[in-house]
């Protein structure tokens, strides 16, 4: 919860459809006071790592060229488009921190295009290959959670936090710490699921991919995310919706995982509705494009805050 009130109502229940790290059910509730949606009960901090197995996609390199050249290129193209707002900043000697850098692909791409950038990546689980590659390119890495990170007197011109804020125990505290780490005039760019996405209505009670039990601890709507950024002392300079084909895929995969018994049919359907499948990603990208054209909010959102 964000406001500190104790009363809440159940929004959804489900289990770990994606990685099967637990057989128990988890519950999302909505705060009766402010409406914020959060996992309740949340895992204890010392148990959080259990939700991220060795084959978790950011550690296993599932979206890199090692696994799929097509998906890696698409990912790189999407990331570049989403950083267009900062194109002038990224042509100089800016200091950039990526929170949740995963396999380091974004940092490597930025460094390749502009070696003058001073880049830092932060992630609680860094693969040996990622560490080796980033070190060779002069990219500093911190293997820790954002909650426990000691940024000291470091100040950044840009902080990138894609699909991370929903994973942290205390978003307000994290946002406050990151806002303090920004230079005056610096930006923070955040992407996170949008709980008011039009597709959630089809999977509302359990299977919507944005729930991502038990790794997502908080879910924001547009207003809630804006409040979280503004309450950290930043001004919102941009807010909008992004395409969310992976959330569609996770939703269908969760539905099939629940509805089909073990066997060839289930294995086949899981193979088709997978974020490893470029055709499936393309289909749901088109679906979201059409929805956005007619004005529907998608299940992915972006916000940019600036420190003045």
Model pLDDT, residue 235: 98
Which tokens sit at 82? 């989403």
| Residue 145 covered by a domain | yes
| Residue 40 covered by a domain | yes
Mapped onto helix, strand or coil, the DSSP state of residue 178 is helix
Max Cα–Cα distance, the chain, nearest Å: 57
Q: CA–CA separation, 41 vs 26, rounded Å?
A: 8
Contacts of 173 (CB under 8 A, 6+ apart): 147
Based on the structure, what is the number of domains in the chain? 1
CA of 45: how far to CAs of 51, 183, 201, in Å? 11, 30, 31
pLDDT by residue, tens only, the chain of 308 residues: 577 677 899 999 999 998 989 989 999 999 999 999 999 998 888 888 889 988 887 765 555 545 557 767 777 777 778 899 999 999 999 999 999 999 898 999 999 999 999 999 999 999 899 999 999 999 999 999 999 999 988 899 999 999 999 999 999 999 999 999 999 999 999 999 999 999 999 998 999 999 999 999 999 999 999 999 999 999 999 999 999 999 999 999 898 877 666 666 667 777 788 888 889 999 999 999 999 999 999 999 999 999 99
Report the predicted TM-score, pTM, of the whole model to 2 decimal places: 0.91
| Residue 173 covered by a domain | yes
* Side-chain half-sphere exposure of 179, counting CA atoms within 13 A: 20
| Residue 293 covered by a domain | yes
**Cross-strand pairs, 187:** 158, 306
CATH code: domain of residue 156: 3.40.50.150
Domain span at residue 273 reads 8-306
Q: CA–CA separation, 95 vs 155, rounded Å?
A: 8
| Residue 1 covered by a domain | no
| Residue 148 covered by a domain | yes
| Residue 21 covered by a domain | yes
Nearest C-alpha neighbor of 199 from the set 147, 243, 258, 141: 243
CB 275 within 8 A of CB 284: no
Model pLDDT, residue 300: 98
Model pLDDT, residue 263: 63
| Residue 2 covered by a domain | no
Model pLDDT, residue 198: 98
């Amino acid at each position: 919860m964000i406001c500190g009130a104790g009363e809440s109502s159940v929004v959804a229940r489900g289990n770990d459809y994606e990685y099967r790290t637990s057989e128990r059910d988890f519950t999302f509730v909505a705060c009766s006071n402010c409406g914020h949606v959060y996992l309740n009960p949340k895992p204890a901090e010392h148990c959080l790592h259990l939700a991220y197995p060795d084959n978790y996609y950011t550690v296993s390199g599932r979206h890199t060229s090692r696994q799929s050249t097509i998906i890696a290129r698409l990912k790189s193209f999407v990331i570049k488009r989403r950083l267009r707002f900062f194109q002038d900043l990224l042509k100089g000697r800016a200091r950039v921190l990526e929170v949740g850098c995963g396999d380091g692909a974004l940092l490597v791409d930025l460094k390749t295009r502009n070696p003058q950038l001073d880049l830092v990546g932060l992630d609680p689980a860094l693969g040996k290959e990622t560490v080796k590659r980033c070190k060779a390119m002069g990219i500093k890495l911190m293997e820790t959670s954002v909650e426990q990170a000691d940024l000291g007197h470091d100040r950044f011109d840009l902080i990138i936090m894609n699909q991370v804020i929903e994973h942290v125990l205390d978003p307000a505290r994290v946002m406050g710490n990151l806002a303090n780490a920004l230079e005056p005039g610096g930006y923070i760019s955040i992407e996170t699921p949008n709980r008011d996405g039009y597709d959630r209505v089809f999977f509302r009670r359990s299977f919507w991919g944005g729930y991502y039990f038990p790794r997502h601890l908080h879910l924001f709507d547009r207003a809630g995310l804006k409040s979280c950024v503004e309450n950290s002392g930043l001004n919102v300079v941009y807010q909008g919706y992004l395409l969310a084909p992976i959330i569609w895929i996770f939703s269908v995969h969760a539905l099939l995982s629940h509805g089909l018994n073990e066997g060839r049919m289930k294995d086949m359907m899981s193979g088709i509705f997978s974020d490893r499948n470029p055709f499936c990603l393309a289909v749901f990208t088109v679906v979201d494009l059409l929805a956005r054209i007619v004005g529907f909010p998608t299940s992915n959102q972006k916000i940019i805050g600036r420190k003045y």
